[in-house]
Amino acid sequence: MAAALKRSTLRLGMIPADGIGKEVLPAAQRVLEALGSAIPRVEFVPLLAGWEEFNKNGKALPEATIETLKIECDAAMFGSVSSPSHKVPGYSSPIVALRKHLDLYANIRPVKSVQGVDGKPVDMVIVRENTECLYIKKEEIHDNADGSKVAYATRQITSYASSRIGRMAYELALRRQAEREAGASSSVHHSQPKVTIVHKSNVLSVTDGLFRETVRAVSQEDKYKSVKTEEQLVDSMVYRMFREPEIFDVSVAPNLYGDIISDGAAALVGSLGVVPSVNAGDNFVMGEPVHGSAPDIEGKGIANPIASIRSAALLLSHLGYTDAAAKIDTAVDNVLREGKYRTPDLHGKSTTEEVTNAILKAL
């Protein structure tokens, strides 16, 4: 966790992008504005990106957005993106590109149940490597002599990326243990810090084998000797995560596995609409709700703002404003626990506005 930025003003890039990102990011902004003197004054910088931007101007991620983030902003918030499921010439996902341009090599996704709310007890963090694996987007297709087609995708795993994501996971495990010892509340008891390495090296012995061996090497460093290290094959990880989620503390995985298991883990706490994340590097951090652009509910005013609001809290925590982040999380927990205001994804009938107002009142 970074020391709090010593500034009178925080410049925060705001990239709503597509779909419900335009509805939930304003909710997060309202909560940040309500913190008052708990954080420096926040200057919100609106920026463009997304599928809609691509269709309007031919670029999903304008150069101006990248340069503004690099030169003028201290951090950023991203909404959601509507990437097509088929190949579109000239288009690539702006969130994937942003992670690469800003070297946001870690996607940190906490999944935590709220005491008194239905669901299994869980308090885990999935640390997903953010820059390589199949997400390097090297694909090609060839025609066979018989007229059939064959497609190839290149998967890249490096010791460099695996080492730094491993170190991020072990540092996070130590930090979480320190917070527990300081009295942080949790619905799960973890007696010691633990990192679970997720891989499939029984099949992908070269690529996943390198990931596993590299993270294992990090675990042997003196400062991490107090952290217990376990391993799970990714299919077994999914099974055990749903059967006994309380056994997991911090899990670290290559890009694709981390994407899948973190989305699946959201089912343990009721909805993707409540699960936050940050994309973190050594010099920049960007909050991002885990849910997608949800075109089926876009414009209906019923999108759950909690994932975006929690992502803002996670961003503040990463910047060192832990007390302000805790205030947001406590307010959200209280609203969820009370149960009066819930959007349809949590089997309620409340609107985005009503849930946001309830959190502001609790804050």
Q: What is the pLDDT of residue 198?
A: 98
Q: What is the pLDDT of residue 186?
A: 73
- Give me the percent of the chain exceeding a pLDDT of 70: 97
Q: What is the pLDDT of residues 134-144, one digit of tens each?
A: 988 899 999 99
CA gyration radius for the chain? Answer: 20
Q: What is the pLDDT of residue 1?
A: 47
For the chain, the three-class secondary structure string (H helix, E strand, C coil) is CCCCCCCCEEEEEEEEECCCHHHHHHHHHHHHHHCHHHCCEEEEEECCCCHHHHHHHCCCCCHHHHHHHHHHCCEEEEEECCCCCCCCCCCCCHHHHHHHHCCCCEEEEEEECCCCCCCCCCEEEEEEECCCEHHHCCEEEEECCCCCEEEEECCECCHHHHHHHHHHHHHHHHHHHHHHHCCCCCCCCCCCCEEEEEECCCCCCCHHHHHHHHHHHHHCCHHHCCCEEEEEEHHHHHHHHHHCHHHCCEEEECHHHHHHHHHHHHHHHCCHHHCCCEEECCCCEEECCCCCCCCCCCCCCCCCCHHHHHHHHHHHHHHCCHHHHHHHHHHHHHHHHHCCCCCHHHCCCCCHHHHHHHHHHHC
Q: What is the pLDDT of residue 115?
A: 73
**Best CA proximity match to 26, nearest among 353, 359, 363, 362:** 353
| Domain ranges across the chain | 1-109+270-363, 119-269
CATH superfamily of 119-269: Isopropylmalate Dehydrogenase (3.40.718.10)
Q: How far is Cα 197 from Cα 234, in angstroms, rounded to an integer?
A: 9
Residue 3 confidence (pLDDT) above 70:
no
**Under 8 Å CB-to-CB from 123, ≥6 apart: which residues?**
111, 112, 113, 186, 187, 188, 190, 246, 249
Q: What is the pLDDT of residue 6?
A: 62
- Give me the percent of the chain exceeding a pLDDT of 90: 85
Q: What is the pLDDT of residues 169-188, one digit of tens each?
A: 999 999 999 888 887 777 77
Residue 280 confidence (pLDDT) above 60:
yes
Band of the pLDDT at 190, cuts 50, 70, 90?
confident
Would the pTM of this model clear 0.85, i.e. be above it?
yes
**Under 8 Å CB-to-CB from 30, ≥6 apart: which residues?**
356, 360
Q: Which residue has the tokens 């499921």?
A: 85
Mean pLDDT rounded to a whole number for the chain: 93
User: Are 1-109+270-363 and 119-269 the same fold in CATH?
Assistant: yes
Q: What is the pLDDT of residues 40-91, one digit of tens each?
A: 999 999 999 999 999 999 999 999 999 999 999 999 999 999 988 888 999 9
Given the candidates 3.40.718.10, 3.40.50.1370, 2.60.40.1180, 3.30.70.260, the CATH classification of the domain at 1-109+270-363 is: 3.40.718.10
Q: What is the pLDDT of residues 15-26, one digit of tens each?
A: 999 999 999 999
Q: Is residue 314 packed enough to be buried (19+ CB in 10 Å), middle (13-18) or exposed (0-12)?
A: buried
Could you tell me if 190 and 180 are in contact, meaning their C-beta atoms sit under 8 angstroms apart?
yes
